[in-house]
Amino acid sequence: MDFELTEKEKSLKEEFDAFFKEEMKNAPPEYGNGGLEGLYSMEEGFAFHTYMAKKIAEKGWISMAWPKEHGGREASIMEQVLFGQSRGYYDAPGIDGFAVGMFAPTLMVGANDEQKKRLLPPIANGEAFYCQGWSEPDAGSDLASLTTTAIRDGDDYIVNGQKTWTTGGHRADYMFLLARTDPESKRSKGLSVFHLRMDLPGIEVRPLLFMDGAHVYNEVFFKDVRIPAKDLIGVEGEGWTLTRQTMNFERSGSGGMAASKRKLEKMIDYVKSTKRDGKFLSEDPIVRQKLVKIYIDTQVGETLAYKIAWLQKKKDMMNVISTASESKLFGTELSQRIANFSTEIMGQYGQLEASEWAPLNGLMVELYQFCMGQNIYAGSNEIQRNLIAWTGLGLPRMKMTK
């Protein structure tokens, strides 16, 4: 297998790297170590996200993969991988994963022409920020059991119910909502997808504070919220089919792997420059063994990301699904291994987050706290294992029974 980039790809990668390296100099101190906390918890962090979104949009990079009819330039999968790697490596904000990664492709397959014209350009221009309204207190892995209703009333749908874990819901302009339009229906029947303005009367967003007090997640309550019928996406009652497609818009996982690689590089610098009992940590045989294991894992993770890109190019969608699950599973568990290793060798200092004594500015303790969530969101790792068993190994499909 030859992973050598073409000359065109090499110069593109250099352009992406130079852009992110330069622009990240503008990150305010409140952006901290980046990630979701950097993005959503402080006003200044979110302002930097919107600034970066505009900059990336000016380059035409938000919509570069989109079909020409929607203003994109149909960039190759490899170009998208390189962009994701570069952005992930520099931990740069500016791409709204909900808008760009999930809702825009959903609109392309499910929306009518008027909706595409109205809703896609603000996403491409980095002007519209979304949150994802799927999970409820009693509907997570078993999403089809959700109970929030949206009942047709004249030219509107009236929404009642509750969503939870809504990442960035307090910052978003819009939500893509999955709700039950037929109250008599069961499970995946009678569900519909909506584009919803977050400033509509009757919407209450309550913070769901993270263990370190950061405000990233929310509960969202709906009390007789009126959504105009023109914001129903696709066919009423067939939202599950559309939502399954949203779930399948694959990401190569390259950004996450590149972010892990950068963290590993920081740890390599740390062990080379930190002494314990008169010796550099880099001379400790156990530290070296563990670091090398993580290094090999990052190489495996990167190869998985390239494999997804290659399968996407071949349009081998069944294998894309199982390999994307492998990548999600491997990447999130790798993140956890990096966090465990790092906080372990940093000792008690490794538990400090906001202090001049915090190694690497508290990066690893933040990762330590955050990485458990990574194993749960976007389909928990147990669900990913089920998917790999079914689509990858050909084992019988697990059915939800509720």
Ligand X SMILES: Cc1cc2nc3c(=O)[nH]c(=O)nc-3n(C[C@H](O)[C@H](O)[C@H](O)COP(=O)(O)OP(=O)(O)OC[C@H]3O[C@@H](n4cnc5c(N)ncnc54)[C@H](O)[C@@H]3O)c2cc1C
Strand, coil or helix: 27: coil
Smallest distance from the beta carbon of 111 to ligand X, in angstroms? 20
Contact between residue 335 and residue 391 where contact means Cβ atoms under 8 Å apart: no
Smallest distance from the beta carbon of 204 to ligand X, in angstroms? 16
Smallest distance from the beta carbon of 220 to ligand X, in angstroms? 9
If the CB atoms of residues 229 and 376 are measured against ligand X, the closer one turns out to be 376
Strand partners, 174: 130, 197
The tokens describing 395, both together, are 């084992």
HSE at residue 18, side-chain half, CA atoms within 13 A, is 6
If the CB atoms of residues 220 and 304 are measured against ligand X, the closer one turns out to be 220
Smallest distance from the beta carbon of 141 to ligand X, in angstroms? 3
If the CB atoms of residues 83 and 217 are measured against ligand X, the closer one turns out to be 217
The tokens describing 43, both together, are 């006003």
If the CB atoms of residues 115 and 380 are measured against ligand X, the closer one turns out to be 380
Smallest distance from the beta carbon of 35 to ligand X, in angstroms? 11
If the CB atoms of residues 295 and 377 are measured against ligand X, the closer one turns out to be 377
Smallest distance from the beta carbon of 253 to ligand X, in angstroms? 17
Torsion 87-246-215-231 (CA) sign: positive
CB environment 91-104: b (16+ within 10 A), e (fewer): bbbbbbbbbbbbbb
If the CB atoms of residues 12 and 365 are measured against ligand X, the closer one turns out to be 365
Smallest distance from the beta carbon of 32 to ligand X, in angstroms? 17
If the CB atoms of residues 228 and 373 are measured against ligand X, the closer one turns out to be 373
AA letter at 260: S
Strand partners, 203: 222
Smallest distance from the beta carbon of 326 to ligand X, in angstroms? 16
If the CB atoms of residues 35 and 350 are measured against ligand X, the closer one turns out to be 35
If the CB atoms of residues 11 and 141 are measured against ligand X, the closer one turns out to be 141
Torsion 129-134-135-140 (CA) sign: negative
Residues at the site binding ligand X, with contacts judged by CB under 6 A: 131-132, 134-135, 140-142, 165-167, 217, 373, 376-377, 380, 382-383, 386, 398
Smallest distance from the beta carbon of 367 to ligand X, in angstroms? 13
Instruction: Output 15-23 pairs: Cβ under 8 A, ≥24 positions apart.
Output: 16/82, 16/83, 16/86, 16/87, 17/86, 17/89, 17/90, 19/55, 19/59, 19/86, 20/86, 20/87, 20/89, 20/90, 20/92, 21/90, 23/52, 23/55, 23/92
Q: How far is CA 19 from CA 86, 92, 354, in A?
A: 9, 10, 29
Smallest distance from the beta carbon of 216 to ligand X, in angstroms? 8
If the CB atoms of residues 315 and 399 are measured against ligand X, the closer one turns out to be 399
What residue number has its CB nearest to ligand X?
A: 140
Q: Is 393 exposed, middle or buried (0-12, 13-18, 19+ CB in 10 A)?
A: exposed
Strand partners, 276: 279
Q: What is the CA radius of gyration of the chain?
A: 22
Under DSSP, the state recorded for 343 is H
Q: How far is CA 224 from CA 70, 133, 177, in A?
A: 34, 16, 15
